[in-house]
């Protein structure tokens, strides 16, 4: 078909790989629609509906961001402090994105924004669903990674001159054997 890709990705191992699959489906939506039409599949008509594609763009964007977050926290020299700062920043982004979507701003989500501009589709119907999802995602991050765990435990390392020695626990104030 002259497409940039010859294959549609299929991952079955990790849920974060779904972002890559959705991104490929979104990029190849014209080719996938032709294929599904040839097979007389019921979903073929969905790929021609701008509203449905708008609903596909958001999860593609959010899963792509989660993939990037996941990858950025892996590898050598990724300390607990580094990871906690990444998570703190991501949680702040979720709150910011929620506020932006509530105001109808989609620039933080590239595919959603581009598709909305290209197809001249409004977010009105999907806006509440996206806001609710961002809220639930934020709640889940807060549930699994509480703020105290991210900030208080190692604040003596981040800002040593803001902490009083007498406020440190016995483990934090001891010097490791060299």
**138 part of a folded domain:** yes
Crossing angle (nearest 10°) for helices 80-102 and 124-144: 160
How many CA atoms does the CB half-sphere of 72 hold within 13 Å? 14
Q: How many domains does the chain have?
A: 1
**124 part of a folded domain:** yes
CA distance 95 to 76: 29
**167 part of a folded domain:** no
pLDDT given at position 7: 61
pLDDT bucket at 178, cuts 50 / 70 / 90: very low
CA distance 23 to 29: 10
Count of C-beta atoms within a 10 Å radius of residue 32: 19
Percent of the chain scoring above 90 in pLDDT: 30
Q: What does DSSP assign to residue 120?
A: T
**22 part of a folded domain:** yes
- What average pLDDT does the chain have? 81
**31 part of a folded domain:** yes
Q: How many residues does the chain have?
A: 178
Is 3 or 43 the better-scoring residue by pLDDT? 43
pLDDT given at position 13: 47
Count of C-beta atoms within a 10 Å radius of residue 20: 17
Q: How far is CA 9 from the centre of its chain?
A: 19
At 118-136, the pLDDT tens digits run: 777 788 778 999 999 999 9
**165 part of a folded domain:** no
At 65-111, the pLDDT tens digits run: 998 898 888 888 888 788 888 888 999 999 999 999 999 999 999 99
The whole model's pTM is what?
0.76
pLDDT given at position 139: 93
Query: Tokens 């993939």 identify what position?
Result: 67
Structure tokens at 120: 């001249």
**163 part of a folded domain:** no
- pLDDT of 59 strictly over 80: yes
Give residue 69's domain range: 15-158
**172 part of a folded domain:** no
DSSP 55-112: HHHHHHHHHHHHHHHHHHT-STT--HHHHHHHHHHHHHHHHHHHHHHHTT--TTSHHH
77: left (phi over 0), alpha (psi -120 to 50) or beta: left
pLDDT given at position 177: 47
First to last CA, the chain: 64
């Amino acid at each position: 078909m002259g497409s940039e890709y010859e294959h549609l990705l299929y991952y079955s191992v990790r849920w974060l790989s779904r972002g890559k699959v959705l991104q490929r489906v979104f990029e190849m939506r014209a080719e996938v629609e032709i294929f599904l039409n040839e097979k007389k599949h019921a979903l073929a008509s969905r790929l021609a509906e701008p509203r449905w594609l708008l609903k596909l763009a958001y999860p593609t964007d959010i899963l792509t961001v989660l993939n990037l977050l996941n990858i950025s926290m892996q590898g050598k020299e990724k300390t607990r402090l580094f990871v906690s700062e990444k998570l703190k920043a991501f949680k702040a982004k979720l709150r910011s994105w929620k506020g932006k979507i509530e105001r109808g701003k989609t620039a933080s989500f590239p595919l959603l924004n581009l598709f909305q501009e290209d197809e001249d589709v409004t977010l009105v119907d999907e806006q509440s669903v996206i806001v609710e999802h961002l809220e639930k995602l934020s709640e889940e991050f807060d549930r699994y990674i509480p703020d105290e765990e991210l900030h208080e435990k190692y604040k003596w390392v981040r800002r040593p001159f803001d902490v009083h020695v007498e406020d440190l626990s016995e483990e934090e104030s001891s010097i490791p054997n060299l």
